[in-house]
A and B are shown apart, each in its own frame.
Chain A
Amino acid sequence: MVRIFGPLVGLFFAAALLWSFAVGAIGQIREPDPATAPKTFHLPPKEDVAFSFDGPFGKFDKQQLQRGFQVYKEVCSNCHALKQIAFRNLTDLGYSEAQVKTIAHDWQTKAKTFDVKTGDAGDRVNTPADHIPPVYYAGTGNPPDLSLITKAREGGGHYVESLLTGYTDQPAELLKKFPDSKTPDGLYYNPYFANLNIAMPPPLTTAGQVTYSDGTKSTVPQMASDVAAFLTWTAEPKLEKRKQTGWAVVLFLIAATGLAYLSKRNVWADMH
């Protein structure tokens, strides 16, 4: 039975597939898939910035994370939330507990409260145990929560850095090839953004926009890579611990596997 029906079923699927192939191939010859502006002009993230946390020995640069946090706080946090991060987590950046308390206390958006006796809503100052309060945004577009943005985009920190420094005028060549693809009003051309037109206005525009407390000169590329580093930390705060543990685990396993190999050879010595 199998030997009769098997080949028939095989030929049935093969025929259906070749039919689909023929229809698809003829369609492709008659009317090839049209080129689109995003397909032609989208760029993969630049990799020219070297981050301290890259590579198997990578570590966060705490000074840089603090600068990045400052950029987030003074620029990004106007529109973007960071809900996975609690103020207490900021001690990872090298802030003391007292400093974290102050940062939480002085945070512009207050924590919401609800009085169960009266039903009244109110607010109070943030404490280190609170997460960074949500951001409500009424303008164009949907600013995503940034907690995991470097893990949610191909290229991670490089993507963020490229996007922030990648704003430019729409190339004349693009408009020549795709006259219908002019960037709509209210959007901004950025070749690192998936569909080339992003609703976010260029957030980092001028050197000195943020005054770094550690005296580093805040050029636009500097601020962009600092905030990219900070957002890598928010997405993967255990990165350093992961890599350090990894070394211990892998070195142990290599040694153990070496011993296992020797004992295997010993056991099999008289069998070959």
Chain B
Amino acid sequence: MSFPWAKHYKPSHPLMVWFDEKLPLPRFVYNAVGPGFPVPRNLNYAWNFGVLAGFCLMLQIVTGVILAMHYAANQLVAFDSVEHIMRDVNWGWMLRYAHSNGASAFFVVIYIHIFRGFFYSSYKAPREMIWLLGVVIFLLMMATAFMGYVLPWGQMSFWGAKVITGLFSAIPLVGTPLQQWLLGGFSPDNAALNRFFALHFLLPFVIVAVVVLHIWALHIPGSSNPTGIEVKTESDTVPFHPYYTAKDGFGLGVFLTLYCLMLFFFPNALGHPDNYIPANPMSTPAHIVPEWYFWPFYAILRAFTSDFFFIPAKLMGVLAMFSAILVWFFLPWLDTSPVRSGHYRPMFKVFFWVLLLDVVILGYCGGSPAETKYVLISQIAATYYFLHFLVILPIVSSIEKPQPLPFSITESVLGSDATAAA
């Protein structure tokens, strides 16, 4: 859909007229990211991260496909084939660092994108479907990233695979057979490495498909905006092109600069040194930790240290870790406040920042060794995490008195005089 004042595509060049008649692809692009897509005029830089996430996905696919041409998914040679890429393939070191740091950059971008959604309640009607698809994308990303980290077949690859697939063994009755079926063996081995490689290659394209649905769903109601009020008139919007192409272009430049600083000057800062040790099933690393982007969830997994009634602690941890993300699916129905933007919700705003701090604390604990003090902190932090989404949000949205909203998007940008003049 679009707003009634959206511009219509009128090809001027005869070639484009001819093309558009046979296949209206130019029209499609024009209406999707061109002048034919009216977007609220007041989007701030938090709204750059959707485009950046799409860019990261493309970056990962391009670098990943080239890496796959040189990588060998066999436990005897996987580690050395990565070193072959680093040493003997032309610009292979750059491709591999671009890919491994690209994964981190992708998660930085996606976490900002998700927290943008939390603050501005982007999940609320009529945008629930965009949000639900977004959570699906995030789950697919986590699976892809996890399997990708296994491929270099270093110590953390191997032991990470062992711990994460071990989670399935917590499921009652079918757990252990299920884990063995998933791994194709009793422990991560050549069978596991091979299937992880196949899935790591496949899943990004599944993500592309869900991203298409995500953006399609976005184009039905159009973008949300920092005031959270709906678009009313033409003066509330600007055409996507040139306004947001220009703004996204600048955002992309800033992103690429920071990303390349990491890639070329600190390429291993976010990795774990142990993954430069070849996988050794006979030697367990002192601390098994996943990549940084899983730390908050890893902290929740490890926070359950005592059996709860008849439920074993391990099973509780696994349930909680998955629930920590699954709970996002229910956000549109847990947060019932009619006001979207956190700017006008005095209580919600406070809890939002507490949640952000809470997730950072969880992340810090998840990346630390499994010592009692970190476990105790993560137990409190995880308690808040669940209470925030499942108890605090519903209560806040029913008792909170929101502040008055501006009359329109135009007024919020130009002030009420301008609206009166218009």
Contacts and interface: CB of A to CB of B under 8 A. Distances in A.
Contacts of A6: 330, 333-334, 389-391, 394
B333 A9 contact: no
A24 B253 contact: no
B86 interface: yes
A150 to B, nearest CB: 9
Contact of B391 (A11, A20, A151): A11
A75 interface: no
A242 B383 contact: no
Interface residues of A, number: 59
Contacts of A243: 264-265
A257 B250 contact: yes
> By CB atoms of chain B within 10 A, which of A10, A147, A154 has the most?
A10
Nearest to A22: B306
A261 B253 CA distance: 9
A36 B369 CA distance: 15
A50 B16 CA distance: 62
Contacts of A247: 264
Interface in B345-379: 371-372, 375-376, 379
A194 B286 contact: yes
Contacts of A144: 277
Contact of A253 (B247, B256, B336): B256
A263 B253 contact: no
Interface in A230-257: 235, 237-238, 241-243, 245-247, 249-250, 253-254, 256-257
Nearest to B278: A145
B253 A253 contact: yes
Interface in A129-175: 144-145, 147-148, 151-154
Contact of A20 (B313, B336, B413): B313
B53 interface: no
Contacts of B387: 10-11, 14
Contacts of A264: 246-247, 249-250
A98 interface: no
B414 to A, nearest CB: 8
Interface string B380-399: 10110011011100100000
B303 A246 contact: no
A18 B320 CA distance: 13
B386 A14 contact: yes
Given A16-B316, A152-B273, A152-B277, A249 B260 contact: yes
Interface string B304-340: 1110100101001000100100010010011010000
B284 interface: no
A242 B254 contact: no
Interface string B19-51: 000000000000000000000010000000000
A11 B388 CA distance: 11
A198 B327 CA distance: 48
Contacts of A125: none
Contacts of A194: 286
Contacts of B250: 257, 260-261, 263-264
B262 to A, nearest CB: 10
Given A13-B323, A16-B308, A17-B304, A260 B253 contact: yes
Contacts of B380: 17, 21
Interface in B385-422: 386-387, 389-391, 394, 413
A176 interface: no
B281 interface: no
Contacts of A83: 80
Contact of A15 (B247, B278, B308): B308
| Interface bracket on B | 35 or more
B303 A17 contact: yes
A260 B375 CA distance: 46
Contact of B376 (A25, A56, A84, A89): A25
Given A267-B246, A268-B246, A254 B257 contact: yes
Nearest to A8: B390
Contacts of B276: 148, 151-152, 235
Given A6-B334, A7-B390, A194-B286, A257 B87 contact: no
A176 B386 CA distance: 47
A271 interface: yes
Contacts of B83: 84, 147-148
**Residue among A17, A83, A153 facing the most chain B CB atoms (10 A cut-off):** A17
Contacts of A78: none
Nearest to B264: A246
B246 A263 contact: yes
B243 A271 contact: yes
Interface in B236-255: 238, 242-243, 246-247, 249-250, 252-254
Contacts of B261: 246, 250
Interface in A1-50: 2-3, 6-7, 9-11, 13-21, 23-25, 27-28, 33
9 contacts: A13-B383, A14-B391, A17-B382, A151-B268, A245-B94, A250-B260, A256-B253, A257-B250, A268-B243
Given A6-B334, A15-B308, A267-B246, 11 more contacts: A6-B333, A9-B390, A11-B390, A17-B382, A24-B305, A151-B276, A153-B273, A247-B264, A249-B264, A250-B264, A261-B253
Interface of B: 41, 80, 83, 86-87, 93-94, 97, 238, 242-243, 246-247, 249-250, 252-254, 256-257, 260-261, 263-265, 267-268, 273-274, 276-278, 286, 303-306, 308, 311, 313, 316, 320, 323, 327, 330, 333-334, 336, 371-372, 375-376, 379-380, 382-383, 386-387, 389-391, 394, 413
Minimum-distance CB pairs A-B, first 6: A246-B264, A10-B390, A257-B253, A152-B276, A21-B379, A16-B308
